[in-house]
Amino acid sequence: MSTEINPMEIAVKVQNLSKSFGNLKVINDISFTVKKGQVLGIIGPSGSGKSTMLRCITQLETVSGGSIMLGNEYLVKDGVYAEKKVLRQIGLKAGLVFQNFNLFPHFSVLRNITEAQKIVLGRSKEEAETKAFSLLEKMGLQDKADYYPFQLSGGQQQRVSIARALALNPDVLFFDEPTSALDPELTGEILRVIRSLAEEKMTMVVVTHEMAFARDLCDYIIFMDGGIIVEQGEAEELINNPQNERTKAFLSKY
C-alpha cells in the first residue's frame, strides 16, 4: 500500500481523514490505499474509530476533513463533498455488511435482496430475482428465499446481508465486524463466505476481531487505536511480529 500505486489499480484511497463528534475527535489524520483485488483488514480495540471510518467511506457519516476516493472519483476532497448526483454514483461502488445484519424484518429473504436492485438500479422484478437466486445459491441458502429473517439463524441472516450487498455489484465490499454477533460455530460460516469472495479477487475492507482470520486472509492490516493508525503492514508480518508496543499489547490478548 505504498504511494507508488498505479492510479488505475486504486479501489479506495483515504487521505488525512478526520471525524469529530462535537469536541471528540474519533478519527485523526488517517491515510491508506487499497488496491483492486486486495483484502484490507482493520483491527483495534473498541472505540478506536474503525467502524466510524467505514461509515464515513460508505456515506453513513460525514467527514470533518480529508479526502476519500473510490476508484478514480472523489467522494469528498479536502473536506468538500461532490455534488449529490456524483455521490449517488460513487455510493453504488461501495457495499456495506453490518455486524447486526440490518435486514428488513417484514420482508422475505428474496425481497430483502431484490428491493434495492429494483429501486436503486432500476432492474425489473425478473432481473432482480434472477440475481437474488444466483446469490442465494452461492451462499448455500437457495431453499430460504421465502423465509423471513426471524426464521433464520444469525449465520444465515448474515449470509443474506452479504448477498444483498453483492446484489448491487459493488466494486468494494466493506464488512463491519461481520461475525461479532455470532457464536463460534456460525462465525465459521461467514468466514468461509468471505474467504470464497477473496479467492474471486473481490476487493474487501474487513473490520474484524478474528486475528487468525485476518492473518490468513488479508493482504494487509491496519491497527488502529485512539483514532489513528498505530501500525500497518503485510498481514502475516504484522500479526506474527508486531513492532509497536501498543500493537504487541493488543495482540497478546488473542
**Mean pLDDT, the chain cut into blocks of 10 residues (254 residues total):** 70 97 94 96 94 95 96 95 94 91 95 95 96 96 96 94 95 92 83 92 94 92 96 95 96 90
Local structure of residue 83 (DSSP, 8 states): P
Q: Given this model, what pLDDT does residue 4 score?
A: 65
Cα of 202 vs its chain's centroid, Å: 11
Q: Are 120 and 168 in contact (CB under 8 A)?
A: yes
**Geometric angle at alpha carbon 85, from 82 and 88, rounded to 5°:** 90
Rounded CA separation 233/91 (Å): 28
The pTM assigned to this predicted structure is 0.92
Task: Identify each DSSP E strand in 82-238 by its residue range.
Answer: 94-97, 172-176, 203-207, 220-225, 228-234
Q: In what order do the strands lie in the sheet with 94-97?
A: 94-97, 172-176, 203-207, 39-43, 220-225, 228-234
Beta-sheet pairing, 39-43 with 220-225: parallel
Q: Given this model, what pLDDT does residue 7 score?
A: 78
